[in-house]
Chain A
Amino acid sequence: MLGKLTGAMAAACTVLLIGSPVVAKPGKTECIVGAKPGGGFDLTCRLLGGTLQSANLVETPMAYTYMEGGVGATAYNHIIGTRPGEAGTVVAASTGSALLLAQKKFGAHDENAVRWVGALGAEFGSVIVAQDSPYKSLKDLIEGIKAKPQDFSVAGGGAVGSQDWMKAALIFKAAGQDPKKMRYIALEGGGPVVTNVLGGHVKIGSSDVAEFMPHHTSGKVRILAVMSPERLTGDAKDIPTAKEQGYDILWTVWRGLYVGPKVSDADYQWWVETLEKLSKTPDFKKEQEARGLYPFPSYGKAFADHVKADVARFKILAQEAGLIK
């Protein structure tokens, strides 16, 4: 009894001490990875946790929780249903989450059900062909597809309707083809996409720049275009964008965070400001680059608006492709 009381008093004191400023600082932080270890969500959480600690923005190391299911759907429902007010808990999300929200694959909740904090960076879609392929530019490829669409099989790291499928669908649309008739094989992640292109099982591979870059550099595959608004920097600076080649094909994969719907304004603000502060540190910039991410400064309301605009855009895309009614 006495122990409980002391504990409660200590807790009350902590709340008084920490809870008083307008911008709250959570004592314990946790990042939820809505997938198996090793994927994009894991990368997001680890980038955050590692740099937060080295920048001394948190006192104790961030905890990582793996919560697999529906590419983030389980985590989304979990945070809304079970832990809506936890100030220290953030969840990793990406463009893929917006895509699934648009296709109503996150269950009953929509994109307004959580509080979107900000982005940690972005990567971009890209397409590859094998090194010995006759197609040297996106224009070659699209002209080829126009002539004989059934000859162009595509491999992507996700089912029909996934990001990789969408990227390929944009290319087929640019060639005036119906994406639904695309010969598309769904694989698990970007690795198998590369092996299937290397083995000649498909003509086109669809994934992200970071996934393909090592294979492009080693000369085994050729990235025909990056789906970014501008030329990328670093290793990818010589690869033309789709836009430069005359096609309005953009695919930005932002990686960001959200918190539960009942997190207080002060706690939410702490995360927004911390993320903004963090992204300006040299250590963060270095770690971001090491993970193949490009800067994507978008925080707080601006980020929330971006996510919601994405969901709206993806709804139209999915309708056009006949994925939703």
Chain B
Amino acid sequence: MSLDYLWTGFAVALTPSNLLLSLLGCFLGTLIGALPAIGPINGIALILPIAYTMKLPPESCMILLAAIYYGAEYGGRITSILINVPGDAGAVMTALDGYPLAKQGRGAEALTMSALTSFVGGMLAVVGLTFFAPLLGSFAVRFGPAEYVALMMFAFATLASMVGAEPVKTLIGCLIGLLLTTIGLDPTSGAYRFTFDQPELHDGIEFIIIVIGLFSISEILLMLEHQFKGTLKPIPIGKGFPSWSDIKACWWPTIRSSVSGFIIGVLPGTGASVASAVAYTTEKRLLDKGTFGKGDMRGLAAPEAANNAAAGGAFVPMLTLGVPGSGTTAVMLGALMLYNITPGPQLFTERPELAGGLIASMYIGNIMLLILNIPMVRIFVKMLQVPNTWLIPAILLLSILGVYTAYSSVMSVLLMLAIGVGGWALRKQGFDMAPIILGFVLGKVLETNLRNALALSGGDISILFQSTISNSLWVMAVLIVLLPWWLARRTKARASAEGA
């Protein structure tokens, strides 16, 4: 495929009005991403009617919507790092090392580093999109139910890294997450499970409600507790730029996570939350010497690179196959249809200004976001100095408003609060929230696909081991479990050999 469309695209994306839209989208997206519960999908749904009323041409509309989308992936990390409240689903893993970093007074550094890794992830994804889109489109199609099962088993294998000092608690957390996924419509038979005749529970508990409950609400409760005990210390905001050695340490984790995040983003069944989870747990499995989860820059870099790369990857099936790669691209696809444009490989030849304009705007948007975000770090970190008497009500208000805006139901708000109290109780007992989240994210995809695979084969389990893709993933799953153990043994053996 020639790259003519891309040059046409840059000509489109660099017009002053489209540049302005890109900037506007990046700014709005960052804001939307930073607000709890309101993620890119709601943001785009809110902006879409405005774009129509403005009678924007299709390419400008897409440029605006795409800018909001990847802007939100940037924005989600801000509150994750500073107050342990993930702004959207893809930013959950960012909190694991981001928040401890902020507490150590390295919040500004963490924000800068995450902006840099987000940039790398986003950029690599656009490059991937530019050069490999059609190839990856046909790769994504080869993922059927059986392949997704193998992918999820690989993801669960990386989870082994989360087993820290208290393996039983990690396991229990993961099981709680798995149990929560069983609430709602049975994905295959259509029967309702554990819904207690509440229509709000028919679709199961929304991921974002669990995230806001477990992180934001339980965090508020902990803060209140410290507030009354008077054990809360003010957090210094620190200097703005990460050290050279930190950047060097984050280099490979960022590249690896960008690549894996991009590929997971390309697959229509998985998105930014799975991508960041896999990236984080893989890096922890490969690199951790007890520092992950306690404020390790690499644990921050990995999920941030991955979620931005996944957002870029989600455009691959949309542009090459005409099927959405994520909920957000589904809304964008609907928007394209309204312009009477059918996405697909012919888009690159028939509407180069659109396909090219969109991709070119992603290059520009990523650079804009980096420029926008680095100086804004100084403003964001001010959040750390807001006294708790103001911060706590503000987080609570934003959480409740966010969930209510997204689901328009009081029941969802109550559910979020109840989950929050549950999460607080678990945290008091020394449980981590991350395994619960991971169990929930991966469990849903695993169950649906396992049951679909078995429905296809009529119950024959060998379907899971039939394709090259599945088998490679199974091998990788085994390797990721055994590799760190084997590496440790080898180093030990070598050390003793040298000692002798």
Min CB distance B467 to A, Å, is 10
Asked if residues B321 and A70 are in contact (CB atoms below 8 Å), the reply is: no
Tell me which residues from 17 to 56 in chain A have a Cβ below 8 Å from any Cβ of chain B: 32, 36-38, 42-43, 46, 49-50
Asked if residues A73 and B199 are in contact (CB atoms below 8 Å), the reply is: yes
- Cβ of B491 < 8 Å from any Cβ of A? no
CB-nearest residue of chain A to B203: A69
- Cβ of A254 < 8 Å from any Cβ of B? no
- Cβ of A177 < 8 Å from any Cβ of B? no
Asked if residues B185 and A159 are in contact (CB atoms below 8 Å), the reply is: yes
Known contacts A37-B41, A78-B409, A195-B140; 13 further A-B pairs (Cβ under 8 A): A69-B200, A69-B202, A69-B203, A160-B188, A160-B189, A161-B189, A165-B190, A186-B190, A194-B321, A195-B141, A195-B268, A198-B141, A218-B342
Asked if residues B448 and A199 are in contact (CB atoms below 8 Å), the reply is: no
Asked if residues A66 and B408 are in contact (CB atoms below 8 Å), the reply is: yes
Give the number of chain A interface residues (Cβ < 8 Å).
Answer: 59
Chain A residue contacts of B408, Cβ below 8 A: 32, 65-67, 78
Q: Which A residues fall within an 8 A CB radius of B?
A: 32, 36-38, 42-43, 46, 49-50, 61, 64-71, 73-74, 76-78, 105-108, 150, 153, 158-162, 165, 183-187, 189, 191-192, 194-196, 198-202, 214-215, 217-218, 290-292, 323
Q: Which B residues fall within an 8 A CB radius of A?
A: 41-42, 44-45, 49, 52-53, 140-146, 185-190, 192, 197, 199-203, 206, 268-269, 317, 321-324, 327, 330-331, 333-334, 337-340, 342-346, 406-409, 448, 452, 455-456, 458
Asked if residues B338 and A290 are in contact (CB atoms below 8 Å), the reply is: yes
A-B residue pairs in contact (CB < 8 Å), sample of 10 = A37-B41, A49-B49, A68-B203, A69-B409, A107-B197, A185-B188, A185-B456, A186-B190, A191-B330, A290-B339
Complex Cα–Cα for A257 and B342 (A): 28
Asked if residues A50 and B52 are in contact (CB atoms below 8 Å), the reply is: yes
Asked if residues A185 and B337 are in contact (CB atoms below 8 Å), the reply is: no
Q: Say which residue of B192, B317, B452 sits within 8 Å of A185 (CB atoms).
A: B452
Min CB distance B247 to A, Å, is 38
Complex Cα–Cα for A77 and B112 (A): 47
Chain B residue contacts of A107, Cβ below 8 A: 197, 199
Asked if residues B41 and A74 are in contact (CB atoms below 8 Å), the reply is: no
CB-nearest residue of chain B to A53: B53
Q: Number of contacts between A and B (CB, 8 Å)? A: 157
Asked if residues A187 and B344 are in contact (CB atoms below 8 Å), the reply is: no
Complex Cα–Cα for A36 and B326 (A): 12
Chain B residue contacts of A106, Cβ below 8 A: 199
Asked if residues A215 and B199 are in contact (CB atoms below 8 Å), the reply is: no
Nearest 10 Cβ contacts at the A-B interface: A70-B202, A201-B144, A159-B190, A191-B323, A37-B45, A73-B199, A185-B452, A38-B331, A214-B342, A199-B141
Min CB distance B267 to A, Å, is 10
Chain A residue contacts of B342, Cβ below 8 A: 214, 217-218
Min CB distance B192 to A, Å, is 8
Chain A residue contacts of B141, Cβ below 8 A: 195, 198-199
CB-nearest residue of chain A to B325: A191
Complex Cα–Cα for A29 and B86 (A): 34
Chain A residue contacts of B268, Cβ below 8 A: 191-192, 195
Asked if residues A38 and B186 are in contact (CB atoms below 8 Å), the reply is: no
Chain A residue contacts of B190, Cβ below 8 A: 158-162, 165, 186, 323
Asked if residues A290 and B186 are in contact (CB atoms below 8 Å), the reply is: no
Asked if residues B206 and A68 are in contact (CB atoms below 8 Å), the reply is: yes
Complex Cα–Cα for A122 and B73 (A): 37
CB-nearest residue of chain B to A43: B334
Q: Say which residue of B145, B334, B345 sits within 8 Å of A201 (CB atoms).
A: B145
Complex Cα–Cα for A162 and B191 (A): 11
Asked if residues A183 and B206 are in contact (CB atoms below 8 Å), the reply is: no
Min CB distance A198 to B, Å, is 5
Chain A residue contacts of B200, Cβ below 8 A: 69-70, 74
Complex Cα–Cα for A199 and B400 (A): 42
Complex Cα–Cα for A189 and B327 (A): 11
Chain B residue contacts of A202, Cβ below 8 A: 144, 456
Complex Cα–Cα for A286 and B67 (A): 29
Asked if residues B327 and A38 are in contact (CB atoms below 8 Å), the reply is: yes
Chain A residue contacts of B44, Cβ below 8 A: 37
Asked if residues A74 and B458 are in contact (CB atoms below 8 Å), the reply is: no
Chain A residue contacts of B407, Cβ below 8 A: 66-69
Asked if residues A291 and B338 are in contact (CB atoms below 8 Å), the reply is: yes
Min CB distance A241 to B, Å, is 23
Complex Cα–Cα for A67 and B141 (A): 32
Complex Cα–Cα for A199 and B145 (A): 11
Chain B residue contacts of A158, Cβ below 8 A: 190
Most buried by A among B203, B324, B331, B406: B203
Asked if residues A183 and B187 are in contact (CB atoms below 8 Å), the reply is: no
Chain B residue contacts of A194, Cβ below 8 A: 321-323
Asked if residues B334 and A185 are in contact (CB atoms below 8 Å), the reply is: no
Complex Cα–Cα for A46 and B338 (A): 11
Instruction: Using known A-B contacts A42-B334, A159-B186, A194-B321, determine if residue A153 contacts B199 with beta carbons closer than 8 Å.
Output: no
Complex Cα–Cα for A49 and B53 (A): 12
Chain A residue contacts of B199, Cβ below 8 A: 69-70, 73-74, 76-77, 106-107
Complex Cα–Cα for A69 and B333 (A): 23
Min CB distance B188 to A, Å, is 5
